[in-house]
Homo-oligomer: A and B are copies of this chain.
Amino acid sequence: MSVNSGRHCLSKIFQPVTIVSKTANLGRQDVTSKSQRLMLELGIIQQAVPGCFHFLPLGMKSLEKLIRIVDSEMLKIEGQKVMFPGLIDSKLWKTSGRLEDSSELFQLKDRHNHDYLLSPTHEEVASELISRLGHISYKHYPLRLYQITVKYRDELKPRFGLMRGREFLMKDMYSFDTDVHSARKTYEEVCQCYDSIFKKIGVGFLKVLGTSGTMGGNLSHEYHYLAHVGEDRILLCQNCNYLANVQLSGSCKCPKCGEQTKLDIKNSIEVGHTFFLGVKYSKSLKAHFLSKNAKPEVLQMGSYGMGLSRLIAASVEVLSTEQEMRWPDSLAPYNIVILPPKAGSKEEAKTKNIAEKLYVALEGQIEGLKDNVLLDDRLSLTLGRRFLDAKRVGYRYIVVINKRAADVVPLFEFNDIKTNTRLYLSENELLTYIKDNTVF
């Protein structure tokens, strides 16, 4: 993120909406969701080709915040970060049987005419890595490897911007255990880790029984955000609180309590999926361990996906209005924006350095605000115009430096757009408000 002598200044940020007169060229693009439109219009992303997007600086900053949350939670369950290649030998997928339904796979050949695919997921790759290392003793399991890498899927109809793209950033973890009992324990731990991640993100989510789809295995859970635009449908039984993907149950009866009337079906966006795979991949790809009896045995696997680029868009989709973006505090590109008076105004003359001083106080005294305070230094624009811009981009706290900032004890117009609150606060009061009301 661009900074000017240590300050993050809006004039230095490549955000097309602030620098081109018309909004970003949406003409060529097929806009199918609110979040996609807002993120394009407000310079968070830009479409390159259908289903493939540029992350512009503000989108990138949000994405890196999400990555930090994921990394810190993965660490707590002994997840070890790795990076697998994206270019995958097709024979691995032939071995697992997944090459048969390959309509969504990008496939290519190298100069030697060898077949590759751009992997949308890495169960085969992870299994083969273990396999080629030979037989590792049971003592060294469980093993939990994860990566955060770009994945590819040749969607028939890419849509909803980052939510159903052809190129997307995904966190995927693969677990290996020596027996079913241990593997189920791992599965539970990773699910708890997912709960923690989604709680940290702070957007309301549902954890439901999932369908295994083409992944296989015999147990799965899905994490969903409720949203009209969502392509999944969730069954909620008001009688017994049963929650599941509609595909699991049909839709007219609760599979748990038999209830038929108190059923809700809601559209939702899948943002995470955990699979208990058993030996589906480890068997065919020979991911074995050496047992206590010194015999090779097949490992039990789990696979755990989280669509990071999709999560950013889904959060924006859930929280935004039609005209204004909203972010969870955890993922907002900035948490607070300071608007100094317009150049040449009498307020400007009277409040010299006050914006700077507040900036330093915020960054210095609130740990979560480090690199999260933005100065809107487009001083040729009115405060009103800049206020509307900030509100539209969805910065939660907007501080306006107006004539009250020239008081003996400077007072700041403090706006909390989440609670629709406007207050005049001293610097100390402002710091306290933020500390008390923000989960970074």
- Given A107-B108, A145-B14, residue A133 in contact with residue B20 (CB < 8 A): yes
Partner of A132, one of B46, B108, B152: B46
Partner of A143, one of B14, B60, B106: B14
A55–B83 Cα distance when bound, in Å, is 5
Instruction: Annotate A142-173 by CB proximity to B: 1 below 8 A, 0 otherwise.
Output: 01010001101010100000000011010000
The minimal Cβ–Cβ distance linking A304 to chain B, given in whole angstroms, is 16
Contact A3 B75 (CB under 8 A): yes
A125 at the interface (CB under 8 A from B): yes
Instruction: Annotate A15-31 by CB proximity to B: 1 below 8 A, 0 otherwise.
Output: 01001111011001000
A contact patch SS: mixed
Contact B14 A46 (CB under 8 A): no
- Given A108-B106, A129-B46, residue A57 in contact with residue B86 (CB < 8 A): no
- Given A78-B2, A129-B46, residue A52 in contact with residue B85 (CB < 8 A): yes
A22–B134 Cα distance when bound, in Å, is 9
Task: List residues 48-72 of chain A with CB under 8 A from any CB of chain B.
Answer: 48-49, 52-57, 60-61, 63-64
- Given A13-B80, A54-B129, residue A167 in contact with residue B106 (CB < 8 A): no
**Size class of A's contact patch?**
35 or more
A63–B147 Cα distance when bound, in Å, is 13
Contact partners of A89 in chain B: CB under 8 A:
48-49
Partner of A57, one of B52, B81, B133: B81
Partner of A2, one of B16, B53, B80, B169: B80
A94 at the interface (CB under 8 A from B): no
Contact B81 A49 (CB under 8 A): no
A185 at the interface (CB under 8 A from B): no
Listed from nearest, the 9 A-B pairs whose CB atoms lie closest are A52-B85, A108-B108, A55-B83, A57-B80, A19-B140, A2-B78, A48-B85, A2-B80, A60-B81
Chain A positions near chain B (C-beta within 8 angstroms): 1-4, 12-14, 16, 19-22, 24-25, 28, 46, 48-49, 52-57, 60-61, 63-64, 75, 78-89, 103, 106-108, 110-111, 116, 118, 125, 128-129, 132-137, 140, 143, 145, 149-150, 152, 154, 156, 166-167, 169
